[in-house]
A and B are shown apart, each in its own frame.
Chain A
Amino acid sequence: MDIILQQLVNGLTLGSVYGLIAIGYTMVYGIIGMINFAHGDVYMVSSYLTAIAIALLSYFGLESFPIIIFGTLIFTIVVTGAYGWVIERVAYRPLRNSSRLAVLISAIGMSLILQNYVQIAQGARQQGVPTMLTGAIRLDIGDGFVQITYMKLFILFVAFLGMGVLTYIIQKTKLGRMCRATQQDRKMASILGINTDRIISAVFVIGATMAALAGVLITLDYGAFDFYVGFIIGIKAFTAAVLGGIGSLPGAMLGGVILGLSEALFAGLISSDYKDVFSFSLLVIILIFRPSGLLGKPEVEKV
Chain B
Amino acid sequence: MSKAVVRKTLVSLAVAGAVTMAQADVVIGVAGPHTGAYAAFGEQLWRGAEKAAMDINANGGINGEMIKLVKADDACEPKQAVSIANRLVDSDEAVAVVGHFCSSSSIPASGIYEEAGVLMVTPASTNPTLTERGLPNVFRVCGRDDQQGDVAASYIVDQLGAKRVAILHDKDTYGKGLADAMKSTMNSYGVDEVLYEGLTRGEKDFNAVVTKIRSVDADVVYFGGLHSEAGPLVRQMREQGLTATFISGDGIVSDEFVSVAGSPEYVDGVLMTFGADPTTYSAGKQVVEEFRADGIEPEGYVMYSYTAMQVVAAGLAAADGDPMAASDWLHSHKIDTVMGTKEFDEKGDLLVSDYVMYEWDANGKYSMLNN
Contact = CB atoms under 8 A, between A and B. Distances in A.
Interface of A: 3, 6-7, 10-11, 13-14, 116, 119, 123-131, 136, 138, 145, 147, 149, 218, 222-226, 228-229, 231-233, 263-265, 267-268, 271-273, 275-276
A126 B256 contact: yes
Contacts of B259: 126-128
A145 B241 CA distance: 9
B261 A6 contact: no
Interface of B: 35-40, 42-43, 171, 197-200, 202-205, 207-209, 211-212, 214-215, 227-228, 231-232, 235-236, 239-241, 254, 256, 258-263, 266
Contact of B256 (A14, A125, A229): A125
B204 A222 contact: yes
Contacts, number: 123
B140 to A, nearest CB: 23
Describe B's contact surface by its main secondary structure. helix
Given A10-B208, A222-B205, A147 B239 contact: yes
Given A229-B202, A264-B207, A124 B39 contact: yes
B259 to A, nearest CB: 4
A223 B231 contact: yes
A14 B206 CA distance: 10
B122 to A, nearest CB: 20
A264 B260 CA distance: 22
Contact of B211 (A10, A123, A126, A233): A10
A123 B214 CA distance: 36
A239 to B, nearest CB: 14
Contacts of A126: 40, 227-228, 231, 254, 256, 259-260
B310 to A, nearest CB: 25
Nearest to B207: A10
5 contacts: A127-B256, A128-B256, A232-B202, A268-B215, A271-B197
B256 A7 contact: no
A138 B261 CA distance: 22
Contact of A125 (B40, B198, B211, B263): B40
Contact of A11 (B35, B43, B204, B208): B208
A119 B35 contact: yes
Contact of B37 (A147, A228, A264): A228
A223 B232 contact: yes
Contact of B212 (A14, A127, A233, A268): A268
A14 B207 contact: yes
A124 B199 CA distance: 22
Nearest to B258: A128
Given A128-B261, A131-B262, A276-B200, A268 B211 contact: yes
Contacts of B236: 222
B206 to A, nearest CB: 8
